[in-house]
Structure 1
Amino acid sequence: MNNKIHNCVIIGSGPAGYSSSIYAARSGLNPIILSGNLPGGQLINTNYIDNYLGFPNGINGSKFMDNCKKQAERFNVKILNESAFKVDLSNKVGGIHKIFFGKEKNNFFLSKGIIIATGSTPKTLGIKKEKKLLGSGISFCAVCDGFFYKKKNVAIVGGGDTALEYANYLSRICKKVYLLVRKNYLKASKILQNNVINNNNITILFKSTISDIIGDNVLEGIKIFNYNTKNYELKQISGLFIAIGHYPNTILFKNKLDLDSKGFIIVKNGGTNTSVPGIFAAGDVKDSNYKQAITSASSGCMAALDLEKYLYSL
């Protein structure tokens, strides 16, 4: 295993990882997937996907990712339920990269090409029941899950662009939208601020945070603490959207690839090429904007095609 030089090792197994593996396999690159600590990525915690092309009745997130895995296996993609813990990257065109994985320190793959599809991790509030009710009233994506709360009361936590975009979107379909902002001001762009402030269906609660989540099996409400008044207030809501940012899963590549100020991998000209020859990035790990399953899958396709082109140019 250690002496063979591979063409394609994919780190990560969300939509980007599986999509890239299918395209790489069909190109004869014999890809290997290291599925990571969360095989299938964030979507396995999503109860229902309603906006992915080709599923007119929607599909359960875990089932969707299982389908992706089965499709990759049909093309003989080698899938290992292991995590990469270190990489040695060559800075030369045609160089050989080393990917260490698993519990044994001496387990590694040698490969001419690597596709990074490690995704990102949503920042959480860190309060009780937050993880328990994920998918049962709590979500990190209003575009993905907002439809399920049509004509219902919802709340959003955050004061940046994403939170305000969520608020505007949800205000068109939900009965009432509460926007909880820890600070006494909004961080989002002015145009988004103006849209939210002038929207009668959005109530902004500044200097506010959630102290408790109400509900055992499904979200029923939230208890809000206001730092100015020192008072608590109970809001009955059906949906809670947490929009306080994401951590890109790029610690493995710190000081080895060019990252932006937030830690996302920088790619060239909107593609998938990173700062190191033979290393490509796909999905949320390079995307601080869209963060959708379908855009991740499309960038996985792009990464495989870019890798194929790179290998043939050697």
Structure 2
Amino acid sequence: METENVKVLIIGSGPAGYTAAIYTSRANLQPVLYEGIEPGGQLTTTTEVENFPGYPDGVDGNQMMADMRRQAERFGTDIRSGVITQADLSQRPFRVVVDGTKELRAEALIIATGASAKYLGLPSETKFRGQGVSACATCDGFFYRKKDVAVVGGGDTACEEATYLASLCRQVYLIVRKPFLRASKAMQQRVFDTPNIEVLFEHNTVEVLGDDSGVTGALLRKTDGTERTIDISGFFLAIGHHPNTELFAGQLELDAEGYIRTEPGTSKTNIEGVFAAGDVKDPHYRQAVTAAGSGCIAALDCERFLLK
């Protein structure tokens, strides 16, 4: 198998990976970045991004990631398409295999593989993704002001997203599979105290309905078999995220959900020379701007480590 030595290897190409690349390449560390399965990350599945500082009129998610990519390239980042299929972090240089065919040996590693939102797996949901189907209320809620929307889920995130949307939207349906909410008592109370949230217990989504303009409704089925249609313009998934860390299980310290644990206030993992940035280590905020900030932190931590 062909082998290549690199100083800094960045895995992942969302705001965290690209920001880490901008900083490490400007520090003359000659980073090599592999884009992974979803070049540009989760932002490429959204349309308009309105909450990233510096874009007063909003920016298309794909455009923003293309800009970040170009900025990283401008300073000399070697950006490659390909997926890391194996990683051995037991010794330095770290060994990783790309697409099962080539081995890289890296002096330092920045992991920015992100997290994937969990979806229900309905074809109609895939069809309308970015056209009314979203997995981020804070990103997209603003587009549904004074409209009716639905949120799927019964945990803290779902309740939080429902109450957030209730402040913008006319009506929010909270679609809950079980006969109860899993959220903390305080969060449940907030939901029940919000007049424009209707909780639909023991309901499952059969299909997301829509036309050329996007989502227009959802067909729901109750546990007793009865069906009903709700008229909505937005369909929000809040059934959790899945961090892309399978490669590192058993090597890096992960939390119960599979997110990479880092030393508080840093990007340092339990293995010296391995740094984590973005949603792969952040189950709480999951915003483009926080991911970019943590990419900067990882790059600076990495630079200091290599100077030692």
Conservation of the 8 A alpha-carbon contact between 2:277 and 2:298: yes
Aligned to 1:46: 46
1:98 corresponds, among 79, 95, 100, to 95
> TM-score when scaled to structure 2?
0.97
- Distance in 1 between the 2:194 and 2:14 partners? 36
Aligned to 1:220: 216
The alpha carbon displacement at 1:111 in A equals: 1.1
Matched, 1:128 2:127: no
Aligned to 2:293: 298
The alpha carbon displacement at 1:270 in A equals: 3.4
Letter in 1 for 2:97: F
Secondary structure at the residue paired with 1:135? coil
Conservation of the 8 A alpha-carbon contact between 1:273 and 1:281: yes
- Distance in 1 between the 2:166 and 2:211 partners? 26
Root-mean-square deviation (CA), in Å? Answer: 1.2
Structure 1 range deviating more: 62-71 or 210-219: 210-219
Q: 1:103-122 counterparts in 2 under 5 A? A: 103-104=100-101, 107-122=102-117
Secondary structure at the residue paired with 1:287? coil
Matched, 1:185 2:180: yes
Letter in 2 for 1:230: G
- Distance in 2 between the 1:9 and 1:297 partners? 17
Q: 1:272-291 counterparts in 2 under 5 A? A: 272-291=267-286
Letter in 1 for 2:96: I
The alpha carbon displacement at 1:4 in A equals: 5.2
Conservation of the 8 A alpha-carbon contact between 2:34 and 2:80: yes
The alpha carbon displacement at 1:2 in A equals: 5.7
Conservation of the 8 A alpha-carbon contact between 2:36 and 2:81: yes
Q: Percent identity?
A: 44
2:205 corresponds, among 202, 210, 230, to 210
Structure 1 range deviating more: 1-10 or 70-79: 1-10
Structure 1 stretches (4+) deviating beyond 6 angstroms?
Answer: none
Conservation of the 8 A alpha-carbon contact between 2:4 and 2:103: no
- Distance in 2 between the 1:98 and 1:151 partners? 53
Aligned to 1:265: 260
Letter in 2 for 1:260: D
Query: Measured at CA, do residues 162 and 209 of structure 1 come closer, stay the same or move farther in structure 2, by a change above 3 Å?
Result: same
Q: Is there any run of 5+ residues in structure 2 with no aligned partner, and where?
A: none
Aligned to 2:80: 80
Secondary structure at the residue paired with 2:48? coil
> TM-score when scaled to structure 1?
0.95
Q: 1:56-71 counterparts in 2 under 5 A? A: 56-71=56-71
- Distance in 1 between the 2:157 and 2:279 partners? 15
Secondary structure at the residue paired with 2:123? coil
Letter in 2 for 1:101: V
The alpha carbon displacement at 1:226 in A equals: 1.0
Aligned to 2:166: 171
- Distance in 1 between the 2:16 and 2:174 partners? 32
The alpha carbon displacement at 1:141 in A equals: 0.2
Letter in 1 for 2:13: S
Secondary structure at the residue paired with 2:215? coil
Aligned to 2:24: 24
Query: Measured at CA, do residues 4 and 128 of structure 1 come closer, stay the same or move farther in structure 2, by a change above 3 Å?
Result: closer
Q: Is there any run of 5+ residues in structure 1 with no aligned partner, and where?
A: none
Conservation of the 8 A alpha-carbon contact between 1:90 and 1:96: no
- Distance in 2 between the 1:248 and 1:205 partners? 29
- Distance in 1 between the 2:265 and 2:128 partners? 36
The alpha carbon displacement at 1:6 in A equals: 2.3
Query: Measured at CA, do residues 270 and 185 of structure 1 come closer, stay the same or move farther in structure 2, by a change above 3 Å?
Result: farther
